């Protein structure tokens, strides 16, 4: 959507749905972690998502156009799905869902740094530096107690997840931007299913998990993966990619609210302060840092040629440029070369 154009009612509905849907996974992962292994959790999520999206992509003819990009599709699948979903599921075995959701909120800040160091046009302005520092302060406020308590690895896992989530869009925008998003996502989910199948088979639960665990796995695959990606691509088409990424600022609030309301996780002053710092930092860090286009200087006026007295002309002779034609002479058509536009009389 172009800047200044109002968001439609459909755009607001899609925005609200995506803000909630992608704030829910932290709660669902926390519940599913109690009944299955990390490998089974990731396998179930990607398998269900692929089963829903792959037939849609095939029916729309979005798979055959992916040829020649398999290397970058594989890289995108690793950093956007395979690695972060496993790290996230493992980290939530020791961290609260609300804390995890807040730490993931630094994705826009990391994305800015990655875009800058990889040769992007973005500039680190004073406002963006303030955003980076605010976001880092929020992360330090959240991670400090855990680092002091000796649980540094779960924090590191979540930071790695944020790094992956910031790298994925760079690959998508620079190497896969002309491919259909739904088809690319379906193929990546199918590849992740194949990769995680052996580990899932080796760690498959001996008994049937509880209804809460099975419901969480189904919701992760159907709602938070398959339906979420379909709605997200519709949101991008409706409001544009820039406005669509604003959901990143709302997802952490949903994650914290659900963790506190459903799981009874504590809402401490440190979490509130960190939420404000990280959200403010993300907003400031993602403000446009592209150089402003310089106005094109106006060309100086061409001085008028001095008046030259008219010279007598032979009847029907072409007149010199800048002199009036002889009265009564027929009009003379000017010749043009191949690289000159035609002059309409």
Q: What is the pLDDT of residues 84-117, one digit of tens each?
A: 999 999 999 999 998 898 888 888 778 878 888 8
Section 290-310 average pLDDT: 52
How confident is residue 68, by pLDDT bands cut at 50, 70 and 90?
confident
Residue 48, in any domain of the structure: yes
Q: Look over the chain and give the mean of its residue pLDDT values, rounded to a whole number.
A: 81
For residue 220, the model assigns a pLDDT of 96
Q: How confident is the model over 320-340, as pLDDT tens digits?
A: 444 444 444 444 444 444 443
In this predicted model, which residue has the larger pLDDT, 274 or 217? Answer: 217
Domains held by the chain: number: 1
Section 53-78 average pLDDT: 92
Q: Which domain holds residue 111?
A: 9-285
Residue 312, in any domain of the structure: no
Section 10-35 average pLDDT: 92
Residue 161, in any domain of the structure: yes
Residue 305, in any domain of the structure: no
Section 191-202 average pLDDT: 97
For residue 208, the model assigns a pLDDT of 94
Residue 300, in any domain of the structure: no
How confident is residue 146, by pLDDT bands cut at 50, 70 and 90?
low
For residue 341, the model assigns a pLDDT of 40
Residue 291, in any domain of the structure: no
Section 175-199 average pLDDT: 93
Q: How confident is the model over 224-283, as pLDDT tens digits?
A: 999 998 888 888 778 776 666 677 778 888 898 999 999 999 888 888 888 888 888 877
CA dihedral sign of residues 276, 124, 179, 39: negative
In this predicted model, which residue has the larger pLDDT, 125 or 318? Answer: 125
pTM for this one? 0.76
Q: Residue 35 pLDDT more than 90?
A: yes
Residue 314, in any domain of the structure: no
Residue 337, in any domain of the structure: no
């Amino acid at each position: 959507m172009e800047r200044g154009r109002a968001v439609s009612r459909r755009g607001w509905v899609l925005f609200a749905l995506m803000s909630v849907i992608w704030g829910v996974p932290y709660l669902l992962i926390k519940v599913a972690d109690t009944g299955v292994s990390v490998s089974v959790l990731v396998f179930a999520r990607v398998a269900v998502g692929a089963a829903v999206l792959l037939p849609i992509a095939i029916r729309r003819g979005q798979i055959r156009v992916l040829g020649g990009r398999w290397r970058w599709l594989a890289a995108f699948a690793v950093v956007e799905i395979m690695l972060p979903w496993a790290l996230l599921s493992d980290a939530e075995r020791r961290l609260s869902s609300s804390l995890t959701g807040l730490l993931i909120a630094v994705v826009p800040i990391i994305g800015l740094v990655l875009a800058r160091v990889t040769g992007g046009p973005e500039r680190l302005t004073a406002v963006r530096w303030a955003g980076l520092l605010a976001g880092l302060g929020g992360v330090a406020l959240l991670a400090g107690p855990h680092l002091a308590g000796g649980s540094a690895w779960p924090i590191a896992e979540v930071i790695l997840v944020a790094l992956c989530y910031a790298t994925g869009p760079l690959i998508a925008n620079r190497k896969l931007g002309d491919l259909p998003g739904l088809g690319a996502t379906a193929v990546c989910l199918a590849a992740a299913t194949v990769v995680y199948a052996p580990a899932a088979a080796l760690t498959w639960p001996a008994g049937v998990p509880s209804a809460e665990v099975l419901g969480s796995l189904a919701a992760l695959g159907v709602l938070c993966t398959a339906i979420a990606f379909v709605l997200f691509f519709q949101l991008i088409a409706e409001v544009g990619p820039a406005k669509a990424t604003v959901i990143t600022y709302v997802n952490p609030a949903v994650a914290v609210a659900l963790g506190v309301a459903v799981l009874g996780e504590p809402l401490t002053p440190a979490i509130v302060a960190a939420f404000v710092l990280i959200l403010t930092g993300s907003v400031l860090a993602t403000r446009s840092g592209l150089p402003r286009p310089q106005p094109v200087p106006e060309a100086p006026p061409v001085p008028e040629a001095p008046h030259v007295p008219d010279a007598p002309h032979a009847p029907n002779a072409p007149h010199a440029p800048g002199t009036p034609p002889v009265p009564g002479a027929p009009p003379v058509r000017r010749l043009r070369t191949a690289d000159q536009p035609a002059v309409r009389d």
